[in-house]
Structure 1
């Protein structure tokens, strides 16, 4: 696998700008379809991709993230709040664009983070691993988590 760029982390914002080989429609389906998102996020995902719709990501009894869809442009933009118990309420925004020469440019921006910088870096490592899993899902390949390796790498950045 070709290594994708690390997150840009700045003042409570995490940003990824990746190109993937699949078409924008496949990427949209992976972000907005419960069954597909559940596979690459390794959780029970519920995504009602309409303005005001609810999102819920359940990783068992111990960790659940919920939110409300705040922006949708079908096939292009999906944005929702990210509410974790005991953490800040933040915002996740996915943007899908056709890439030059084919494939998709995928931008993930997680904003409004007020948690300490080390916790922001942990979240960035988690998103990076999830994006690796998303690419594997799109390519029909398996994903081996690199979460611990990414945690270490982001902690040093």
Structure 2
């Protein structure tokens, strides 16, 4: 696992993760925003596109969608958006990409998570493992997503 650093701040209702990915920022950006790449690690794009002031609807499971308003979008460098699931407060997600040697450092900050803060850190670890596999051309089976999450939530990843 290419985890560089992570933190969970329940008082501030925030998680942050720094992760190294082998591909260049343009390839990582493709994985983060392309409607054909997203189902392999996040969910299926129902509507919208990743551009400033757009609204994107992503189905994470059957009839379970997240709605995001894109607040900032600088291709291959930065995306910031709201993040809203039913029964959860509207939160804010920011992903920054920086070239790092031959690869990319991804810094993810998710804040205003409310009571779900503790569940988001292993959730993002799981999503980033799936993104990494997608970028390597070896997608993990989505049917194993929740088993992977449960493993990470129970023991935590080894840096």
Q: How far apart in 2 are the matches of 1:62 and 1:124?
A: 23
Over 6 Å off, 4+ runs: none
Shift of 1:90: 0.2
SS in 1 for 2:71: strand
* Residue pair 2:48, 2:56 contacting (<8 A) in 1 also: yes
Q: CA deviation at 1:35?
A: 1.1
Task: Indicate the SS of the match to 2:37.
Answer: helix
Q: Which residue of 1 is the match for residue 131 of structure 2?
A: 134
Query: How far apart in 1 are the matches of 2:60 and 2:33?
Result: 18
Taking structure 1 as the reference length, what is the TM-score of the superposition?
Answer: 0.86
The answer for the alignment partner of 1:59 in structure 2 is: 60
What is the match of residue 117 of structure 2? Answer: 120
Cα distance in 1 for residues equivalent to 2:129 and 2:57? 21
Distance 1:62 1:152, change over 3 A: farther
Higher relative contact order (CA 8 A, sep 6+): 2
Partner Cα separation in structure 1 for residue 99 and residue 2 of structure 2: 20
User: Is structure 2 residue 149 aligned with structure 1 residue 152?
Assistant: no
2:10 paired with 1:4: no
Q: Structure 1 unaligned runs (5+)?
A: none
Write the deviation string for residues 92-140 of structure 1: whole angstroms up to 9, x where unpaired: 11101000x210001111012222xxx3121211111000000001111
CA contact 1:95–1:106 (8 Å) conserved in 2 = yes
Seen in structure 2, the aligned counterparts of structure 1 residues 7 and 121 have a Cα distance that, compared at 3 Å, is farther
Tell me the number of residue pairs that the alignment of Structure 1 and Structure 2 aligns: 148
After TM superposition, the score normalised by the length of structure 2 is: 0.85
Cα RMSD of the aligned pairs, angstroms, is 1.7
